[in-house]
Amino acid sequence: MNTLTLTSSQQFGPIVGMVVNSVDSEHSQRAYEKALTDFLSWYAQQGHPGLKKAVVQAYKRKLRGDGLAPATVNQRLCAIRKLATEASDNGMMKPHLAQGIQRVKGIKTAGVRVGNWLTVEQAQQLLGAPNVKTAKGLRDRAVLAVLLGAGLRRAECTRLTFDQIQLREARWVLVDLIGKGNRVRSVPLPSWAKVAIDTWAARARISQGLVFRSMRKGDRVNRDAAMTPGAIWSVVRTYAEAVGLGEIAPHDLRRTYAKLAHKGGAELEQISLSLGHASLQTTQKYLGLEQDLTDAPCDRLGLRLE
């Protein structure tokens, strides 16, 4: 077959697998799979008109009409472009059709979206939320300690092993973490986070392999199964809601780590290295340093309500 018309849903399945397997990040794999599954559903409703530039442009208009954020639309278009590339590279689509789809532009965005982060008091409240009389509570406290104390991504947290926790220059360090873009880094670990890990490990009676394991009923540790990124998300959401912090995601704790470190006087370059960012500019945007929310222009207006 030298062209991909996608005249049936069956043709689409193998190509989705190719696209998902072409990216390394678990987060990207999930995002691409959802994006392409949604596209397939819409495509079927249109009567399988053939995969080409005009069809992708029509889908882009549909996404915008649904009121999706520009970043979400762009992410979904990226998945479809990847679909066309994989199909072309595997001889299932004519190159000129794939090139046409590659030319479908995303939506331009301006500025930097401000994310959530916690104050010191809120972070301390969250850290103290788990019930440390149970194995699950000790595990969950250790998870929160690593997210807040080292700024790890949730996927990095699930992959953390005991042999990566090492003494370097008289302090504990998480060594050889593999992050986004396969960048390798080492991150200093505060002593209180190491205590949280040790307490959990002692209760779970584990000292090798993965640090964080799933739990069974009856507060029993499943030593043969790691926590999933989704389980990390559930831990953060559950305790954040329990202490009244609202909808907080694991990445908000990573951002909190960076914000509190910066406010505490840590150098921007060192924060960037710990986060595993590709450049200082990425870290500056991540922290929102261009906009001062503490001493803001609106604080200097001199107005008040009578």
Give the number of other Cβ atoms within 10 Å of residue 23's Cβ.
14
**Catalytic (active site) residue 277:** yes
**Catalytic (active site) residue 180:** yes
Cα separation of 50 and 55, whole Å?
Answer: 8
Write down the catalytic residue from 62, 251, 262, 285: 251
Cα separation of 237 and 36, whole Å?
Answer: 27
**Catalytic (active site) residue 153:** yes
Write down the catalytic residue from 82, 136, 141, 153: 153
DSSP string, 170-208: TEEEEEEEE-GGG-EEEEE--HHHHHHHHHHHHHHT--S
Write down the catalytic residue from 254, 255, 257, 259: 254
Pick from 16, 4, 6: nearest CA to 79: 16
- Which helix or strand (DSSP H or E) is residue 132 part of? none
Write down the catalytic residue from 27, 62, 180, 237: 180
Structure tokens at 194: 């190491």
**Catalytic (active site) residue 254:** yes
Cα separation of 74 and 63, whole Å?
Answer: 10
The residues annotated with a catalytic role in the active site are 153, 180, 251, 254, 277, 286
